[in-house]
Amino acid sequence: MEVLRLQRKHLVFPEDALTGPDPNLVVVIEEPKTKRVWNKQFVVCTEPGLIQWLQWWAQQMRPNDFLVCMSRHSWSRRLLAVCNSLKLEDVGYTLSSFRSGGATYQFRQHGNFSVLQFKGRWKSAATVQFYIQGAMAAHATCAAGAEAAERVRFVRAGSQWLERVPGQTAARLLRP
């Protein structure tokens, strides 16, 4: 997974841009999953809230510090634990669900296939269609029960605290 290899040096925040004022974050991907397309790749993040959270998260990191300090296996176990606590264990979410789910969400929001293909760094339009068709079908046929739906609504209702980054640094909050 590309995100597990990201280091602080791969994030170019708006204030770091050498090209002048730019409100966006550029994420450089040195070891992309899709190497046959381009050896080095980038993703532009235009979401101000996400940019603020990443600035907060990375503010005390050194250039070679990894953004996520856990293995794929550990991250998978944590996702499974979250799904279990939300009563979504039968839905079958995996870490791979984020890519297809994100593509489907973007397509539903904006409907621009070409932009989605570029943002997803897919060489082939058929690959994008594969992600969207599979994820949309899985979403539409999702058989989550009433208890799961209620728990997800509860989490969404409490998520407004994510609109602001904490006053303390990430390093201080995560200190044992």
pLDDT, tens digit (0-9, with 9 covering 90-100), for 69-95: 889 999 999 999 998 998 888 778 888
Note the pLDDT of residue 54: 94
Give the pLDDT score at 168. Answer: 84
Among 129, 128, 132, smallest CA distance to 140 is for 132
What percentage of the chain reaches a pLDDT higher than 70?
91
B/e letters for 13-36, b = 16+ CB within 10 Å, e = fewer, are: beeeeeeeeeeebbbebeebeeee
Q: Give 36 or 135, the one with higher predicted confidence.
A: 135
Q: What is the mean pLDDT of the chain?
A: 84
* pLDDT at residue number 90: 79
Tokens of 19: 């090209």
The total of other beta-carbon atoms located within 10 Å of residue 175's CB is 8
E strands, the chain, where?
11-12, 25-29, 41-45
DSSP 91-103: T---TTHHHHHHH
Contact at 8 Å (CB) between 4 and 93? Answer: no
pLDDT at 10: 94
Residue 134, pLDDT > 80, answer: no
- Contact in structure between 69 and 55 (CB atoms under 8 Å): no
pLDDT beyond 90 at 101: no
- pLDDT of 63 strictly over 90: yes
* Mean pLDDT (whole number) for 15-25: 79
Q: At 146, is the pLDDT very low, low, confident or very high (cuts 50, 70, 90)?
A: confident
Secondary-structure percent of the chain, ordered helix, strand, coil, rounded to 5 = 55, 10, 40
Count CB-CB contacts under 10 A for residue 85: 11
Q: Find out whether 81 and 74 touch, Cβ atoms under 8 Å.
A: no
